Amino acid sequence: MALFKILLKMGTSLLILSSAIFVAGYICIALEHSLKVSKSAVALITGTLLWLLVALSKSGQGISDDLTHAGSEVFSIVVFLLAAMSLIEILVHYRFFDIIRGKLFALKLNEHKQFLIISLLSFFLSAVIDNLTTTIIMIQISRRFFKGDNLLIATAGIVISANAGGAFSPIGDVTTIMLWFAKKFGTLEIIYKGFLPSFALWLVSTSLLLRKIKPADNDNENEVITRLSSSEIIVIASVFFSFSLPLIVSLMGLPPYFGLLFGLGFVWVLVDLLKRFKPGPTHLSASIDDFLKKTDISSLKFFIGILLAVSALHSLGTLEMLAHYIYGDVPGTGSYITGNILLGLISSILDNVPLTAMAIQMLNTTDSSLWILLAITAGTGGSLLVIGSAAGVVAMGMVKELSFGKYFKIAFVPALAGFAAAIIIWYLQYWLF
């Protein structure tokens, strides 16, 4: 034990040991189907092992602040997901997705056109709400249209599109919100300087994914959807109003989950009142408690493990050392550009939030274009691998057939090509203007 503590005090050894634990956990997660071991279990073990390393290395000094910060981040995302998934279940119960399905089937669109519409909606919707909520909503819609391999391709397309759309909006992704609040760019700057690179990413990756979609027969094109009553429409409208509340509370400086929790509570009260004063089949059978029980707890545990692991790497200083290695001691414009691209690629493995936080502390530049490049690379680099972004992790939880390997086979090349296209377009804008 004494020898082990001495080893822990050595910065280089600490970096190697923490990185080795994380990489080993990452490999086990990637090989989940081959090893027949739950990725959630591996993530929890990895996260707790790394925090044990933090405790041993710091000997209890300063660990409380680190745990408070990590716990706050885990709490924020888990509560956000619980509320968002419950609101989605309400939409399912009130047949919103069935109506969307019927409307689109009535247009007699083939699989390729359906994929394009859903992908484009994901891109623009994520800029208005956020990429995580958009992913949850659009996957629910996609499950009404696609089956088998087409569903996996559509899911991958939604993840890439949602991350791309969130990158050009100040409220579309956690990283853009962080940079926006840090006043690294203005509201209009991120939109007009970030839109074209983000759209180029969407266009290139979607074009490549579109080729993978296979023709399929739709057996339910003539299905009849019952019209909604006025009270059902009110409930659905209230749910979508709830999804706009995270934006409002974010502008007030509060975490987004406050808005979603208020919205869930509001819809909950509304449904209970409708049961009492305007009873009907959908109202009487609606149970928010049951909707909460339908939440994919296993995916939430996976989320918790990954977030704990990354926050431990942050606490250990591993991410800071990585950031210094990426940007150098005295970075210039070229180093900023290269470093931002590398950070984006690394975000496919590590969570982009602590990486962005490190960059905010390290980079000493007032050039908003360079910060916008960081928003684009950090926000979309996670699309390369399914566990590289919150949207990807949620997608893997919602579509059980989507494994690490299948996503890599389907989406890695399209996502990488789109990532490269976004950087090229950004550089052309930077060079010209």
Instruction: Give the mean pLDDT of the chain.
Output: 83
CA distance 193 to 433: 10
Contact 373, 190 (CB under 8 A): no
306 and 393 in contact (C-beta within 8 Å)? yes
pLDDT digits (tens, 9 = 90+) for 191-210: 999 999 999 999 999 999 99
Q: Report pLDDT for 226.
A: 60
Q: What is the pLDDT of residues 45-76, one digit of tens each?
A: 998 999 988 888 876 666 878 888 788 878 88
Q: Concatenated DSSP letters for 210-222?
A: HTTPPP---TTTT
CA-to-CA dists, residue 381 to 160, 272, 308, 363, 409, angstroms: 9, 43, 20, 19, 16
Q: How confident is the model at residue 8 (pLDDT cuts 50, 70, 90)?
A: very low
* Confidence at 7, pLDDT banded by 50, 70, 90: very low
Cα 153 to Cα 71, 142, 158, 179: the distances in Å are: 34, 10, 9, 31
DSSP string across 242-283: HHHHHHHHHHTT--HHHHHHHHHHHHHHHHHHHHHHS--HHH
Tell whether the model's pLDDT for residue 3 goes beyond 60: no
Look at residue 401 and give its three-state secondary structure. coil
Distance between CA 365 and CA 370 in Å, rounded? Answer: 8
Q: Give dist(CA 433, CA 113) in Å, integer.
A: 36
Single out the residue of 379, 373, 317, 326 nearest to residue 352, CA to CA. Answer: 379
What mean pLDDT comes out for the span 106-117? 84
Single pTM value for the model: 0.77
Whether 329 shows a pLDDT value over 70: the answer reads: no
Mean pLDDT of 237-254: 83
Distance CA 238, CA 395 (A): 24
In three-state secondary structure terms, 62 is coil
Q: From CA 110, how far away is CA 114, in angstroms rounded?
A: 6
* DSSP-derived secondary structure letter, 416: H
Are 350 and 313 a contacting pair, CB within 8 Å?
A: yes
Report which of 170, 190, 114, 183 is spatially closest to residue 145, judged by C-alpha positions.
Answer: 114
| Separation of CA 320 from chain center | 23
Whole-angstrom Cα distance, residue 151 to residue 399? 8
Sign of CA dihedral 410, 168, 132, 106: negative
Res 162 pLDDT > 50: yes
Residues 403 and 397: their CA atoms lie apart, in Å, by: 9
Segment 259-282 mean pLDDT: 86
Q: What span, in angstroms and rounded, lies between the C-alpha atoms of 129 and 170?
A: 10
Which residues are within 8 A (CB) of 384 and not within 5 positions of it... i.e. 6 or more apart?
Answer: 345, 348, 411, 412, 415, 416, 419
User: What whole-number distance in Å separates Cα of residue 53 and Cα of residue 340?
Assistant: 29
- The residue length of the chain stands at 433
The pLDDT assigned to 102 comes to: 75
Query: DSSP label at 67?
Result: H
Q: Which percentage of the chain shows pLDDT scores above 90?
A: 26
CA distance 161 to 165: 6
